[in-house]
Structure 1
Amino acid sequence: MNNGRRVAEGGALLALYSILLFITIYVPLLSIVTFFFLPVPFILFAIKQKLSWSMGYLFIASLLSILIGTILSVPLTLLMGATGIAIGYCLKKDKPMATAFISAVLVFLGGAIIIYAASVLITNVNYIEMALNMLKQSVENPVNIMGSLEQAQTEKIKTRMNDFIDMFYTLLPSLFVLMSVMMVLVIFLAAHPIVKRFSHKTLKWPHFRDLRLPKSLLWYYLITMLLALFVNTDKNSFVYMAITNLFFILQFFILLQGYSLIFYIAHVKSWAKAIPVLIVVFSLLLPIPIIITAVRFLGIIDLGFPFRETIKKKE
């Protein structure tokens, strides 16, 4: 491809990105949708061009974002642009879809952490910690009002709420990871039809029912669970935070494997498509821990035993 065509395509994609960025900044409701399409121009450009050209494209887009918005819009462009380039580069090199997804998650996660750390460094304000402290203070007033009724019950409620807030703070690293996973997943879904239409690549995922995570994940889960049970550490220590976050992430993936097995069983048994969806929705919305535990148990069985093959043979 000659340089003139590269410049022409780059200009068209820059125009597309400018429109998306303008809507994202200035149109509140529509911005919820356009936000997830911001990486698309970078994906399309990275699929066809060299990595060096893609980085130059990101640099120009960052300068352009200052004209469209303010200097504060540059981090958004860098974050979404780098994520898009990571996806496009993996597609260009025909990497497996899992590799493209993991690469995008790592880039998005790293970018989000850098942006947040920079904002804390510049403003000298830890916004998450400040929000949690405000939440703790907001809990105090209603609980204190209840104190006139029954002091013991009030203290119990206050302790539970404070423990929940403390656990939320402990799990912040895991929540950052899960946030990145969900954001990149939506970006993939948004970009798929456009990438398919305007390039020879595709972002189509295999069926969720065919998800098979590595069996080694089960060993990591069991080892971490044993560490969580038998390693006594201070709740403010790094070891406690590391074990808690690792266990939380592994539980999430085990749960994901359990849901995949439910969809597989529904497919083999020819259930109505709405049934596994309803199972997922109700298990997540209903405050009944035993349901989530049962799904997680299915995930353990699916990883540890040839359960799917047994079901398929019976059919």
Structure 2
Amino acid sequence: MMDSKVVKEGIILAVVYIILLFLTLILPGSELITFFLLPIPFIIFTSRYEWKYSIIFIVLTLLLSMFISVLSLPIGIMAAIGGVMIGFAIKQNLSPYETWARGTVGFVLGLLFVFISIQGLFQVNLFEELKQMIDESLEMSNQMMKDFGFNPSVDVSEQIKQQMYDILNLIPYIMVMIAMVIGFLSQWVSYKVLNKLEKRKLSFPPFKRFALPKMMIWIYFFAYLFTMFSMQPDSMLYISVINIFHLVGFLLVLQGFSFIFFFAEKKGIPKAVPIIVMIFSFIIPVIGLYIIRILGIIDLGFSLKERLNNTK
């Protein structure tokens, strides 16, 4: 028999999830907020109770949600997988960044399930649909330029089209980035809720302590080498390499920003300075983020933070 406390809290969290899901599917614009809140009931429950109770809670909650919409199950499974990964990591007292990594993996799997489910439910090939949209938009743009007296060359049009197709190849990278954002925000809010419920002190460590494994430098280096070889743009190897290259590059940017915050505090520089640096880096990403990435590689490779800590 389940404890009455487990049943009561399970009902409350299930109702909260159903309300959030209803708002997500019915109220336009609400998904910008509710999408990050959907995993939280799963995180809270799985972090507090045994796995067998968690399985019952997940199954019953997902079954109840199916009465709202045909999309309820794919979205629910996405929220449940990511939420369970974070919840069990919290239960095991893993570090915040390791918890975040597990949650990211869970949300990637969940997003893949949503992606496949949408294609199956609506009988559409999303990649082909996106390519068709690109072709139509480029054709419309070329026609408008011709109407204004410009005649774009075929080579330029094909080059632009290929660049747009390259963005489609980065969908896995974009999906991981989305999963990272969902995971971070869901975990952060869950920490706040659990701190209230259980009087705990869960929190992310200061950003200045962010540190990647040193092997990330080698992964980035080899991915960069592979990008220099001639590969078919539609080949699995090419798509894998460019996605790994961009993903690890972004993580190295985070490493670089963390060093800037560390250095600013070490030297007594006002906190506003590193924040301004971040803003300008994203305003001029071609130059700014490239420099920050190099700084991240240097920090990781030469352990700059440790060297500064050991310097009197």
Give how far 1:268 is off.
1.2
Instruction: Write the distance in 2 (CA, Å) between the matches of 1:2 and 1:150.
Output: 73
The equivalent of 1:26 in structure 2 is: 26
1:135-178 CA-to-partner distances (Å, cap 9, x unmatched) read 33112222233246443x55465234212211111111111111
Partner of 1:28, secondary structure, is: coil
- Identify the residue that residue 246 of structure 1 maps to in structure 2: 244
> 1:57-96 counterparts in 2 under 5 A?
57-67=57-67, 69-96=68-95
Q: Give 2:124's aligned residue.
A: 125
Shift of residue 211, structure 1, vs aligned partner: 0.8
Q: Which residue of 1 aligns with 2:290?
A: 293
Kindly indicate whether the alpha-carbon contact (under 8 Å) linking 1:209 and 1:261 is maintained by their aligned counterparts in 2.
yes
Post-superposition Cα deviations, 1:36-89, rounded to whole Å, max 9, x if no partner, equal: 22222222211221112111101111122133x123212222221222222111
> Contact 2:74 / 2:113 at 8 angstroms: preserved in 1?
no
For the structure 1 residues 306 and 104, does the alpha-carbon distance in structure 2 shift closer, same or farther, using more than 3 Å as the test? closer
- Map Cα deviations across residues 88-146 of structure 1 (whole Å, 9 max, x no partner): 11111212222321221111111111221122133320234313321331122222332
Supply the AA of the counterpart residue of 2:11. G
Where does residue 267 of structure 1 map in the other structure?
A: 265
Aligned residues with identical type, % of pairs: 27
Partner secondary structure for residue 66 of structure 2: helix
**Is this contact kept in 1: 2:208–2:261, CA < 8 A?**
yes
CA contact (8 A) 2:188 2:204 kept: no
Equivalent residue for 1:224? 223
Match of 1:297, SS?
A: helix
- The range that moved more, 40-49 or 209-218, is 40-49
Question: Is residue 24–residue 34 contact of structure 1 (8 Å, CA) maintained in 2?
Answer: yes
Residues 284 and 292, structure 1, Cα contact 8 Å, conserved in 2: yes
Residue 305 of structure 1: aligned partner: 302
- Is contact 2:134-2:161 (8 Å) kept? no
2:102, 2:87 → 1: CA distance?
Answer: 11
Answer whether contact 1:143 1:157 (CA < 8 A) is retained.
no
The within-5 A match list for 1:191-210 is 191-201=190-200, 203-210=202-209
Equivalent-residue separation in structure 2 for 1:34 and 1:212 (angstroms): 30
What is the RMSD of the two structures over their aligned residues, measured on CA atoms? 2.2
CA, structure 1 residues 31+240, in 2 after alignment: closer, same or farther (shift >3 Å)? Answer: closer
Letter in 2 for 1:193: K
Cα distance, 1:25–1:310 mapped onto 2, change above 3 Å: same
* Amino acid paired to 2:34: T
What is the CA–CA distance in structure 1 between the aligned matches of 2:112 and 2:31, rounded to whole Å? 22
Describe the shift of the 1:35–1:240 C-alpha distance in structure 2 as closer, same or farther (beyond 3 A): closer
Distance, in Å, in 2 between the alignment partners of 1:140 and 1:251 is: 33
CA distance in 2, matches of 1:189, 1:71: 29
Deviation at 1:9, TM superposition (A): 1.9
The CA deviation at 1:25 is 2.9
What's the secondary structure of 1:162's corresponding residue?
helix
Deviations 1:159-204 (A, max 9, x none): 3421221111111111111111111112122322112111355541
Residue 214 (structure 1) aligned with residue 203 (structure 2): no
5+ long unaligned stretches in structure 1: none
Q: Give the CA deviation at 1:4.
A: 2.3
Deviation at 1:290, TM superposition (A): 2.2
Contact 1:58 1:82 (8 Å CA) reproduced: no
Contact between 1:213 and 1:303, CA under 8 Å: does it hold in 2?
Answer: yes
* Separation of aligned partners in 2, 1:160 and 1:259: 34
